[in-house]
Amino acid sequence: MPPQYLYIYYITLIMVNKSYDFLVIGSGIAGVSFAINAAKYGSVVMITKKQDSDSNTNYAQGGVACVLGDDDTFESHVSDTLIAGAGLCDIDAVKILVEEGPPRIRELLDYGVRFSTVDNVAAEGASLYNLHLGREGGHSVNRIVHAKDLTGRELEATLLMKLREFDNITILENHCAVELITGHHVKNASNQYECFGAYVLDSINRKIFPIAAKVTCLASGGAGHVYLHSTNPAIATGDGVAMAYRAGAKIANMEFIQFHPTTLFHEKANSFLISEALRGYGAVLRDAGGREFMSKYHPQSDLAPRDIVARAIDNEMKISGLPCVYLDVRHKDARTTIEQFPNIYNQCLSFGINITKDLIPVVPAAHYICGGVMVDYYGNTNITNLYACGETACTGVHGANRLASNSLLEALVFSHRAVIDAAERVGKCRNIDTNDIPDWDDSGTHDIEEWVLLSHNLVEIQSVMSNYVGIVRSNLRLDRALRRVNLLGKEIEDFYKRAKITPQLLELRNIVTTAKLIIVSALKRRESRGLHYTTDYPCQNNKKSFKKNTIVSNRRKAPMSTGLKICQ
């Protein structure tokens, strides 16, 4: 065996049946923050599907909303968040989000994150009081802390550097979670709905093995790839939500899919995000005739909440029959534009668009899922020892529509709180006996030659979701989508049972589950609210019975009797 294979073989051997205090699934801002904090209380393993820096966070341009300006107050940020959330936010969760923001930003500065300052230098020596605060839709003042238009990249790189300082954190790249290990799998477990870690696929060696952990944190990001066009990287396949659903967790508010109003319309641009910060800076949306149109739709014009801007663009495109609208930043000082938005400037230039001189063609694309695995204020799901953070979780802060730049803040604030709770739990747990966890059984499966069917299935799901479960919905469209997705789900499950598992197959299975959760949740909401707009019920229903979360769960009522219990 060549030495490099011997090394991989050795690493694989020591991984099998290894037990940790904390297992973190995902390496975006939520997962990495959780891991850094958790490492103070015990051993941590963080698994990630590709490289540790491949995450949705990396693509975030805008920033982190935080009350830091002299003209700002907690009340104002809370109020903006509640207005965007269209009556469905959990007010206490929103207060936690807003009030615990400043200490989290201070922590990031201590880690060395180079946010833009008022002098507009991404500077060392930045303090909470000289940060440059940008503006985005739905915010009544400037409160977006950012690193030019590359905030996510700066955050991810700095946090990963910090993570590597801990020698009790093991990072496993190219490892995908297959299923959560729950009482269903474990010998003599007393509770079917207790989590003991996860079965994990080492995608280089194509081996599945269990990782046992006292606490498991799902932080695997969003699910933009349920749709044909998304601002998310290809890894955003709803893995956390789908696995948690299969394990019996409550999943909430999946009908609220945020479409970002402005992604670059260009055949090669792959839905490149044109940050809302550009509109905060003064860019104006125009139709093909050069007419500004947002003032027709909302008093805040181009800075209206995102659902309104996305629907307005959708409407303008339907009226004109054209495939895009345009964003105009030509009237702003060219040097300042390039200095503040170097990433957008350079990306557009690479497609032949000079944003200081040309109109930018834009279309909406799937961007963020407001729903997810339902958690309490400390990240607990309804499965014992299972936490969820970041886009995978539904904390209640976004309600029916997320306010711009509240998501990175949510990931920071709630992953911090989750560790406080989880550390206490880990202290009380005894070690898991890995002998109680069976090995993954893939007998009867084999390498199937028709892998191309998987990519066909993927395009089918994405097309169904984009055509029938997009910005404007109806019962007819949703019913149609459900019939098709149910059929695809059966085909994929059948494939899954027969085939040797690959990352592509796992993702497809998670995508189809997530798609179904979105459709089923959308059918349950018989009104239009926030990001869910249906022509059958075009208005928001203000009766109390409509102001509640849409919850879906596949939990069966079959409690198991006495037996092994790791944690109280």
Give me the active site residues, please: 306
Residue 275 binds ligand SIN, judged by CB under 6 A: yes
CB-based contact 187:564 (threshold 8 Å)? yes
Question: Mapped to the 3 state alphabet, what secondary structure does 441-480 carry?
Answer: CCCCCECCCCCHHHHHHHHHHHHHHHHHCCCCECHHHHHH
Residue 81 binds ligand SIN, judged by CB under 6 A: no
Residue 392 binds ligand SIN, judged by CB under 6 A: no
Residue 255 binds ligand SIN, judged by CB under 6 A: no
Burial category of 99 from C-beta neighbours within 10 Å (exposed 0-12, middle 13-18, buried 19 and up): middle
Distance CA 396, CA 252 (A): 9
Q: Using the minimum distance from each CB to ligand SIN, give the nearer residue, 63 or 210.
A: 63
* CA-CA-CA-CA torsion sign (65, 152, 225, 387): negative
Q: How far is the CB of 365 from ligand SIN (least distance, A)?
A: 11
Element (H, E) at 328: strand 325-328
Residue 183 binds ligand SIN, judged by CB under 6 A: no
Element (H, E) at 254: none
Residue 304 binds ligand SIN, judged by CB under 6 A: no
Residues 356 to 375: which contact ligand SIN by CB under 6 A? 368
Using alpha carbons, select from 436, 391, 385 the residue that is nearest to residue 410.
391
Q: Using the minimum distance from each CB to ligand SIN, give the nearer residue, 365 or 386.
A: 365
Residue 404 binds ligand SIN, judged by CB under 6 A: yes
Choice from 48, 55, 61, 232 touching ligand SIN (CB under 6 A): 61
Residue 407 binds ligand SIN, judged by CB under 6 A: yes
Single out the segment in contact with ligand SIN by CB under 6 A; choices: 27-35, 179-187, 339-347, 401-409: 401-409
Distance CA 513, CA 494 (A): 14
Task: Please give the full DSSP string across 151-219, using - where no structure is assigned.
Answer: HHHHHHHHHHHHHTT-TTEEEETTEEEEEEEETTTSTTBS-TTBEEEEEEEETTTTEEEEEEEEEEEE-
Q: Using the minimum distance from each CB to ligand SIN, give the nearer residue, 94 or 195.
A: 94
Distance CA 287, CA 320 (A): 8
Residue 203 binds ligand SIN, judged by CB under 6 A: no
Distances (CA, A) of 324 to 225, 279, 281, 288, 464: 21, 17, 21, 8, 21
Residue 505 binds ligand SIN, judged by CB under 6 A: no
Residue 302 binds ligand SIN, judged by CB under 6 A: no
Residue 163 binds ligand SIN, judged by CB under 6 A: no
Residue 248 binds ligand SIN, judged by CB under 6 A: no
Residue 263 binds ligand SIN, judged by CB under 6 A: no
- DSSP class of residue 25 equals E
Single out the segment in contact with ligand SIN by CB under 6 A; choices: 27-35, 212-220, 270-278, 355-363: 270-278
Question: Mapped to the 3 state alphabet, what secondary structure does 272-303 carry?
Answer: CECCHHHHHHCCEEECCCCCECHHHCCCCHHH
Q: Using the minimum distance from each CB to ligand SIN, give the nearer residue, 84 or 464.
A: 84
Residue 220 binds ligand SIN, judged by CB under 6 A: no
The structure tokens 């998501």 sit at 407
Q: How far is the CB of 302 from ligand SIN (least distance, A)?
A: 12
Q: How far is the CB of 327 from ligand SIN (least distance, A)?
A: 12
Residue 347 binds ligand SIN, judged by CB under 6 A: no
Q: Using the minimum distance from each CB to ligand SIN, give the nearer residue, 84 or 126.
A: 84
Distance CA 82, CA 90 (A): 9
Q: How far is the CB of 170 from ligand SIN (least distance, A)?
A: 31
Distance CA 69, CA 376 (A): 30
Q: How far is the CB of 368 from ligand SIN (least distance, A)?
A: 6
Choice from 31, 62, 248, 361 touching ligand SIN (CB under 6 A): 62
Beta bridge partners of 171: 46
Number of residues that bind ligand SIN (CB under 6 A): 9
Residue 277 binds ligand SIN, judged by CB under 6 A: yes
Residue 405 binds ligand SIN, judged by CB under 6 A: yes
Q: How far is the CB of 26 from ligand SIN (least distance, A)?
A: 18
Residue 307 binds ligand SIN, judged by CB under 6 A: no
Q: How far is the CB of 312 from ligand SIN (least distance, A)?
A: 16
3-state class of 127 per DSSP?
A: coil
The structure tokens 């229903």 sit at 541
Residue 52 binds ligand SIN, judged by CB under 6 A: no
N-to-C CA span, the chain: 46
Single out the segment in contact with ligand SIN by CB under 6 A; choices: 275-283, 322-330, 505-513, 558-566: 275-283
Residue 56 binds ligand SIN, judged by CB under 6 A: no
Element (H, E) at 364: strand 360-369
Element (H, E) at 51: none
The structure tokens 């005739």 sit at 289
Residue 511 binds ligand SIN, judged by CB under 6 A: no
Q: How far is the CB of 81 from ligand SIN (least distance, A)?
A: 12
Single out the segment in contact with ligand SIN by CB under 6 A; choices: 102-110, 233-241, 400-408, 455-463: 400-408
Using alpha carbons, select from 252, 240, 180, 237 the residue that is nearest to residue 210.
180
Residue 156 binds ligand SIN, judged by CB under 6 A: no
Distance CA 336, CA 390 (A): 33
Q: Which residue number has the CB closest to ligand SIN?
A: 62
Residue 521 binds ligand SIN, judged by CB under 6 A: no
Residue 58 binds ligand SIN, judged by CB under 6 A: no
Single out the segment in contact with ligand SIN by CB under 6 A; choices: 17-25, 173-181, 403-411, 534-542: 403-411
Residue 97 binds ligand SIN, judged by CB under 6 A: no
> Quick one: angle between helices 239-247 and 503-524, nearest 10?
70
Distance CA 542, CA 544 (A): 6
**In the complex, which residues of this chain contact ligand SIN (CB under 6 A)?**
61-62, 275-277, 368, 404-405, 407
